[in-house]
Homo-oligomer: A and B are copies of this chain.
Amino acid sequence: MRAYPRPLARLIEELEKLPGIGPKSAQRLALHLLHASMEDTTALAETIREVKEKIGTCPRCFNYAEGDLCGLCVEAGRDEDLLCVVGDARDLMAMERAGGYRGRYHVLQGLISPMDGIGPDSLRIAELVERTREVGFREVILATNPTVEGDATAMYVAGLLKPLGVKVTRIALGLPVGGDLDYADAVTISRSVEGRREM
């Protein structure tokens, strides 16, 4: 790699460390940044620094927050008696993008995964139990991903919340909208039949 001068080679190396960025993309990004306006690159470098400095965790729901409580915890007009439990902030964003849900959230900051050494104590489950005890939600919707880890986490959490007398639900499994029975996997089809509803 003699052909690129050192600072450029170093930038390519730094970019290659990012997830989903291979050598080709790193090279393209580095050359783009080299040719971009000073204004744009400064903005990028600044926002990276700002994110590290200003973004913390919401002490109530454990979503990302700037300052104290996150935007969703302070937003007025949301149903205070309804809680949606998600694995991470990305899942929360997906729920918000979908719209429709207007209650509060709780971010577990991960899913139980013994293979990766993540047990219940690594997650915000104790805080969820405490919060549920305090607020006394009408319903807690477990919206962790329908994966082995997500299901295990939901089972575990449900076991802790039910004794508190709260209604605990799990998001529905079935065919995606616009899906095709012929292309769906057997497990999804079985779940979709199990979860059938009267019309």
The answer to whether A28 touches B33 (Cβ under 8 A) is: no
The answer to whether A48 touches B44 (Cβ under 8 A) is: yes
Q: Closest residue of chain B to A32, judged by CB? A: B19
- Cα of A71 to Cα of B92 in the assembled complex, Å: 49
CB distance from A15 to the nearest CB of B (A): 7
Q: Does A6 contact B (CB under 8 A)?
A: yes
Q: Closest residue of chain B to A21, judged by CB? A: B29
Q: Which of B5, B29, B42, B90 is in CB contact (< 8 Å) with A64?
A: B5
The answer to whether A71 touches B2 (Cβ under 8 A) is: yes
The answer to whether A66 touches B5 (Cβ under 8 A) is: yes
CB distance from A7 to the nearest CB of B (A): 5
In the bound complex, residues from chain B placing their C-beta under 8 Å from that of A81 are none
In the bound complex, residues from chain B placing their C-beta under 8 Å from that of A19 are 28-29, 32
Q: Which of B1, B11, B31, B49 is in CB contact (< 8 Å) with A47?
A: B11
Q: Which of B4, B5, B40, B47 is in CB contact (< 8 Å) with A10?
A: B47
Q: Closest residue of chain B to A29, judged by CB? A: B18
Given known contacts A2-B75, A44-B15, is B70 in contact with A7 (CB within 8 Å)? no
- Cα of A70 to Cα of B55 in the assembled complex, Å: 41
- Which residues on A are within 8 Å of B, measured CB to CB? 1-8, 10-11, 14-15, 17-21, 25, 27-34, 38, 40-45, 47-52, 54-55, 63-67, 70-72, 75, 89-90, 92-93, 96
